[in-house]
Amino acid sequence: MYKAPRGTVDILPEEQAFWRYVEAKAAEVCQLYGYQRLDTPVFEEAALFTRSIGEGTDIVTKEMYVFKDRSGKQLALRPEGTAPVCRAYIEHGMDNLPQPVKLYYLAPAFRYERPQAGRYRQHYQFGCEAIGDGDPALDSEVIHMACQFFTSLGLKELTVQLNSIGCKSCRPEYIKALKGYYQERAADLCPDCKTRLEKNPLRLLDCKRQGCQHIADNSPRSTDYLCPECRSHFEVVTEFLRSLDLPFNFNHRLVRGLDYYTKTVFEVQPLAGGAQSALGGGGRYDDLIEQLGGKPTPAVGFAAGMDRVVLTLKKQGIPVPPLPLPEVFIAHLGNEAKGEAVKLAASLRSQGIGVVMASGDRSLKAQLRQANSLGTGYAIIIGEEEIKNRKLTLRNMVSGEQQSLTPAELRAVLGKGT
């Protein structure tokens, strides 16, 4: 027996109402903030991700699905959405458009992680990117938009974690201080952190091992090393957030798992669950476009994990609107009736009325049972009697009430959307 690959799930029909609800809210919030949709390929040149996410990150070293195609080109399944959007921005000359260019995507992402609740090898992200403007007002707008997305879904008990990790001019000084601090404590570090200390010191701060927590908690803070430009940027971001009455927690250990971030970084987490179950995160990435071959172009963005959003909606008991069902079920008895049913189904559908026609030749009882389980509001019954009288029986599936109608009367009743 074949099974879905480890760490992947099928999204079954009964789950779809949650997913369509989340997607619709994402599109709605994007419209409110002026973002347009962009779809990029599921795979890209592997180097796009290696260069942007960073060679020393877990995503690149342990999690990326990399493969050679038949021509020997090194490709990777998208592990995140920002780098492809930046690639498309450069490739399509979007720097010629009025800036910032605001783009959003809803797309699967692939990471070879250890599967657990809320952590999959294929997951889905809703992300937005505002490219081409360094204004701190845009950082706070993106944070506000992320929160608006979650609250408009009905989610509660979330916190915003905020930090600034500086820029290429002030970060080296901070990294020096961080390294010095960790070197003094190297003996107490986990093996992974010993490597991080050499290869990518910023990653030390998001180590999940118990033994490293105390060390990370008391480590130097990036915000104490910001250059005047980064400091004033961060001050404006927090000032705007306060003016929007958007509460946030300053978290000096928040560095995000990708190397391209500069200045503002943030995450939205459920109160219960913390960083491990972050619903979304983002920040500014002012050097990325240039690093990928474009002109120097500041940008800021955000991505939410849709799988975790759906899990949290269920956990918090938030009802979602049901998906529309076909309005009518057609039951038929006998060959002649079946022929009439085929024509009636086609004509109702051409009027925009959703129809499920019974297939096979089951008893009326069995056919109505099927109508019941489908949840259609009405069943139309065509039997010998109906054929003889050139009428149809319309049964209200909720009240059980039945009426005998001519085809024209039936169309009039159903056409009113009753």
Query: Which residues are at the interface with ligand AMP (CB under 6 A)?
Result: 80, 111, 113, 118-120, 123, 125, 257, 278-281, 303, 305, 307-308
Buried b (16+ CB within 10 A) or exposed e, 90-100: beeebeeeeeb
Residue nearest ligand AMP (C-beta atom): 305
Count Cβ atoms below 10 Å from residue 406 Cβ, excluding itself.
12
How far does CA 403 lie from the centroid of its chain? 47
Closer of 129 and 307 to ligand AMP (Cβ): 307
What whole-number distance in Å separates Cα of residue 237 and Cα of residue 243? 10
Q: How far is the CB of 308 from ligand AMP (least distance, A)?
A: 4
Q: How far is the CB of 13 from ligand AMP (least distance, A)?
A: 21
Q: How far is the CB of 273 from ligand AMP (least distance, A)?
A: 11
Q: How far is the CB of 279 from ligand AMP (least distance, A)?
A: 5
Q: How far is the CB of 87 from ligand AMP (least distance, A)?
A: 17
What whole-number distance in Å separates Cα of residue 332 and Cα of residue 364? 7
The pair phi, psi for residue 326, each rounded to 5°, is -60, 145
Q: How far is the CB of 64 from ligand AMP (least distance, A)?
A: 12
Buried b (16+ CB within 10 A) or exposed e, 75-87: bbbbbbbbbbbbb
What whole-number distance in Å separates Cα of residue 306 and Cα of residue 316? 15
Closer of 289 and 414 to ligand AMP (Cβ): 289
Closer of 121 and 233 to ligand AMP (Cβ): 121
Tell whether omega for the bond before 191 is within 30 degrees of 0, i.e. cis. Answer: no
Closer of 308 and 332 to ligand AMP (Cβ): 308
Closer of 94 and 310 to ligand AMP (Cβ): 310
**Residue 397 near residue 379, CB atoms below 8 Å:** yes
**Residue 71 near residue 101, CB atoms below 8 Å:** no
Closer of 80 and 139 to ligand AMP (Cβ): 80
Closer of 123 and 332 to ligand AMP (Cβ): 123
What whole-number distance in Å separates Cα of residue 257 and Cα of residue 273? 18
DSSP for 118-137, please give it.
TB-SEEEEEEEEEES---HH
Helices (H) and strands (E) in the chain, counts: 15, 16
> Coil, strand or helix: which one is 401?
coil
Q: How far is the CB of 316 from ligand AMP (least distance, A)?
A: 15
Q: How far is the CB of 107 from ligand AMP (least distance, A)?
A: 11
Closer of 88 and 279 to ligand AMP (Cβ): 279
